[in-house]
Copies of this chain bind each other. A is one copy, B any other.
Amino acid sequence: MTDPQLDQPWHVAGREFTSRLLVGTGKYRDLEETAAAVAASGAEIVTFAVRRTNLGQDADAPNLLDAVSPERYTLLPNTAGCYTASDAVRTCKLARELLDGHNLVKLEVLGDDRTLYPNVVETLKAADELVRDGFDVMVYTSDDPIVARELENRGCKAVMPLGSLIGSGHGLLNPASLRLILENATVPVLVDAGIGTASDAALAMEMGCAGVLMNSAIAHARHPVVMAGAMRKAIEAGREAFLAERMPRRAYAQASSPTQGLINE
């Protein structure tokens, strides 16, 4: 048995990517820190909240596009802050307009502003509309495997279940549910929300996720740029461990070799 080739690129909506770490742009001190952290993360896809981000509409305020160049990164406008399907759809259309026809979006429709847990009913409704309207939809959702399958059935290009609540840093609270989603999905599955530190990200990748999206874990670390680099390696480590296929767990220890025939006895 030969070792697998180095990792292959992954694809979503006809686009090809090497990096499996997707990052957000919120919660940083300023755009300079945003730019430095994004660069250190090695991310190729960068997401931003359409409703909270200046892409030039306000000529006097800092413009995200100066920090995160659309030439260098694939921008992923998201619908953070939307609590209904219609709000989310309207927000996606606004993004498409601001970005000259860009149709790759991250859909999120939230259930309340305390937990930011997704509202899956409204999410399904918005996904339907967006797909019909020609958007390529990557979709934030709960860890419900039936909803995940349904989102895929309705034409979403990637399914993005939470690990735990947005901004909570609790990691993967229910790996069993994530596993059910992974077993059934034919589109990329990416963990979106809940990652707190490097081992959380590695674990998601070891389970077979195509990628991980995070924001707070980097932006709210004491040293965001250092954490961005840590996450880059953690994602690669987890991916390679998945490809390497981990050792089986055993109830009891195994000595390194037979205890008979010790050389130096």
Contacts and interface: CB of A to CB of B under 8 A. Distances in A.
A238 interface: yes
A3 B223 contact: yes
A172 B222 CA distance: 25
Interface stretch (A11-19, A67-75, A143-151): A143-151
Contact of A264 (B94, B196, B197, B233): B94
A132 interface: no
22 contacts: A3-B225, A3-B226, A26-B256, A51-B265, A52-B263, A54-B263, A80-B256, A117-B253, A119-B146, A121-B121, A169-B248, A198-B234, A198-B240, A199-B202, A199-B238, A202-B202, A217-B246, A222-B245, A223-B243, A223-B245, A233-B237, A234-B237
Interface residues of A, number: 101
B255 A116 contact: yes
A227 B244 contact: yes
A41 interface: no
A134 interface: no
A167 interface: yes
